[in-house]
Structure 1
Amino acid sequence: MKFHQRPYIYTGEVRLKVTDLNKLTDFYTEIIGFSVLEKGSGQVVLTADGKTPLLVLEQPEAILPKEPRRTGLYHLALLLPTRADLGKAIKHFSRNQVPLGASDHLVSEALYLNDPDGNGIEIYRDREPDSWKWQNELVAMSTDPLDANGVVAESGNEEWNGLPADTVMGHVHLHVANLGDTKTFYEALGFKVVSHYPQALFMANGNYHHHIGLNTWNGMNAPRPTEGSAGMDAFTLVYPDEKTLQEAIKNVRELEHIVERIDAAFVVEDPSGNRVILRLEV
């Protein structure tokens, strides 16, 4: 988990607009394994360790269903501490008859599923960073079949008991309208391209395999979602110190993006309309 703490810039909590707060809360607690940190009128804050928000669910009035082929969230990705944890997750999802996709990405092993609103979720574990293959500052990644039996065997007789306390928001993968402009925007925020894939880029701060994924799989120049529709409201980037944060803000303002201050954080939209919250590590 070293790439999700100082001195790196990394992904923090994700905020979702949902169609049915009770239904989505049940899904994310009972199926995904979060616990409730705070519950208020129209909003639930979810956590893995009992103190750190990782996911915020909000049900606005007159919410519309999530729209297809728009920019926005492709998936949020929860990083588990160990391979055994991933094995316990597979057993849990299997018992609950949850439809799953699965891949071996060389740097990681991953499961894929959707929430009831159609938001994508990845649950994964990283291989040791010293096993990742780098060449010319790019990391080798692939989409190979997952050795699910081997992953499950790693968990032995242990059973799933919710998300481990050390779970973090490993990365966020976005549908965007244009890779070029969006790449420039996230470079200004402190990230670099570390891997290429057809119609996609993966970007990281430091030598992680990616904190941010970008793709145009919903079509070049895909439209933004309607304001009142379900889906991602915003995701968070966490900065290690004030100097790094202010440099990022300066950089995106020079690209003529509007940065607003909201309480102790800053909010800016990427070129595809994805809202990004910028804040300091607490």
Structure 2
Amino acid sequence: MTRSIHPDTDLGTVHLKVAELDRSIRFYEEIIGLQLISREGETARLGAGGPAALLQLEQLSEGAVPAPRRRTGLYHFAILVPTREALGLAVRNFLQRRVPIGQGDHLVSEAIYLNDPDDNGIEVYADRPRENWTYTPQGEVAMATDPVDIEGLLALAGDKPWTGLPAGTVMGHVHLHVRDLQEAKRFYVDMLGFDIAANYGGQALFVSAGGYHHHVGLNTWAGVGAPPPPANAPGLIFFTVRLPDTAELARILTAVGEQGIPSEQFEDGYLVADPSSNRVLLTVRA
């Protein structure tokens, strides 16, 4: 039986390809509320206070093409704000700037959805206290997609100034298109060790560490057997899974190697690819 991934595992920086870096920086600063940490050439790092980046943007060379609808890759990345008031302030900013948004009250969280200029999906959300979550008879986290109390969020925001995303904002989860759900399960659950938090109709699977509602979402909504996007299309380069210590990293790399999956040393971690060509950087949290 596969050992569960360490319960203190979480997510770090999401790396994205974009068509126009200046345009994307403006969007993520003015609309989402991230702060530019650094820019070197065609690469920019953005965060929510402090040196840690939530997002790294890399500009594509000339000849970028839109990502097709039928493809694997990013469905959305999800920025977790620390309070419901912070979510209300973000919602007010979206509405004032007339940004099209979607919404979902997932029982465990309240979420707002939007897209960046390259159609990369974004979720900004606030969790409800874990002690208020409920569970199915099968032991899975109970989730739904109900209307969000937008008026209540705006009331919490009141006339307080919006100064961007507050300290304490983190990368909460990443949701991916995959070509086959069982294949993805073997990679993320049977090999990496994430636990199944919820399973929806054979089309979506939510997996996590430490009982969270999900750190990684997996779906086949872009079509079973969908191919990877073109290399010159905007989208996900890789996302970061942060492990608490080197022993846990070594254990997972051993499991990866035993399955014949190559790993590539990259900066302070190791890159591996799931069967749908979605890449994951496994690293130790600083």
* Alpha-carbon distance between aligned partners in 2 of 1:79 and 1:276, rounded to the nearest angstrom: 20
Structure 2, unaligned runs of 5 or more: 1-5
Residue 227 of structure 2 is aligned to residue 226 of structure 1: no
- Give yes or no for contact 1:35–1:50 (8 Å, CA) kept in 2: no
* Alpha-carbon distance between aligned partners in 1 of 2:237 and 2:212, rounded to the nearest angstrom: 25
Residue 217 of structure 2 is aligned to residue 213 of structure 1: yes
Structure 1, unaligned runs of 5 or more: 1-5
Residue 194 of structure 2 is aligned to residue 191 of structure 1: yes
* Alpha-carbon distance between aligned partners in 2 of 1:183 and 1:49, rounded to the nearest angstrom: 35
Worse overlay, 29-38 or 135-144: 135-144
Amino acid across the alignment from 1:47: G
In the TM superposition, 1:58-97 aligns within 5 A as 58-62=58-62, 63-97=64-98
Amino acid across the alignment from 2:221: W
Residue 181 of structure 2 is aligned to residue 179 of structure 1: yes
Structure 2 counterpart SS, 1:143: coil
- Give yes or no for contact 1:45–1:56 (8 Å, CA) kept in 2: yes
1:29-74 Cα distance to aligned partner (Å, 9 max, x none): 1111111111011110111113111100001323332222110000
* Alpha-carbon distance between aligned partners in 1 of 2:59 and 2:242, rounded to the nearest angstrom: 25
Q: Hey, what does 2:240 align to over in structure 1?
A: 236
Q: In the TM superposition, what is the alpha-carbon distance from 1:263 to its structure 2 partner?
A: 2.8
Amino acid across the alignment from 1:211: H
- Give yes or no for contact 1:66–1:231 (8 Å, CA) kept in 2: yes
Structure 1 counterpart SS, 2:89: helix
* Alpha-carbon distance between aligned partners in 2 of 1:12 and 1:67, rounded to the nearest angstrom: 27
Worse overlay, 194-203 or 61-70: 61-70
Q: Hey, what does 2:43 align to over in structure 1?
A: 43
Q: Hey, what does 1:275 align to over in structure 2?
A: 279
Amino acid across the alignment from 1:11: L
Amino acid across the alignment from 1:167: T
Amino acid across the alignment from 1:12: G
Residue 29 of structure 2 is aligned to residue 26 of structure 1: no
Residue 8 of structure 2 is aligned to residue 16 of structure 1: no
- Give yes or no for contact 2:206–2:214 (8 Å, CA) kept in 1: yes
In the TM superposition, 1:18-167 aligns within 5 A as 18-62=18-62, 63-135=64-136, 136-167=138-169
- Give yes or no for contact 1:107–1:129 (8 Å, CA) kept in 2: yes
* Alpha-carbon distance between aligned partners in 2 of 1:259 and 1:86, rounded to the nearest angstrom: 37
Q: How many aligned residue pairs are there? A: 277
In the TM superposition, 1:237-256 aligns within 5 A as 237-256=241-260
* Alpha-carbon distance between aligned partners in 2 of 1:71 and 1:115, rounded to the nearest angstrom: 18
- Give yes or no for contact 1:240–1:280 (8 Å, CA) kept in 2: yes
Q: In the TM superposition, what is the alpha-carbon distance from 1:133 to its structure 2 partner?
A: 0.7
1:153-201 Cα distance to aligned partner (Å, 9 max, x none): 1223323210111100000000000111111111222301111224100
Worse overlay, 106-115 or 156-165: 156-165
Amino acid across the alignment from 1:200: A
* Alpha-carbon distance between aligned partners in 1 of 2:236 and 2:283, rounded to the nearest angstrom: 18
* Alpha-carbon distance between aligned partners in 1 of 2:227 and 2:145, rounded to the nearest angstrom: 28
* Alpha-carbon distance between aligned partners in 1 of 2:222 and 2:256, rounded to the nearest angstrom: 25
Q: Which runs of 4+ in 1 moved over 6 A?
A: none
Q: In the TM superposition, what is the alpha-carbon distance from 1:7 to its structure 2 partner?
A: 5.1
- Give yes or no for contact 2:7–2:211 (8 Å, CA) kept in 1: no
- Give yes or no for contact 2:7–2:209 (8 Å, CA) kept in 1: no
User: How many percent of aligned residue pairs carry the same amino acid?
Assistant: 47
- Give yes or no for contact 2:207–2:214 (8 Å, CA) kept in 1: yes
* Alpha-carbon distance between aligned partners in 2 of 1:146 and 1:7, rounded to the nearest angstrom: 29
Structure 2 counterpart SS, 1:39: strand
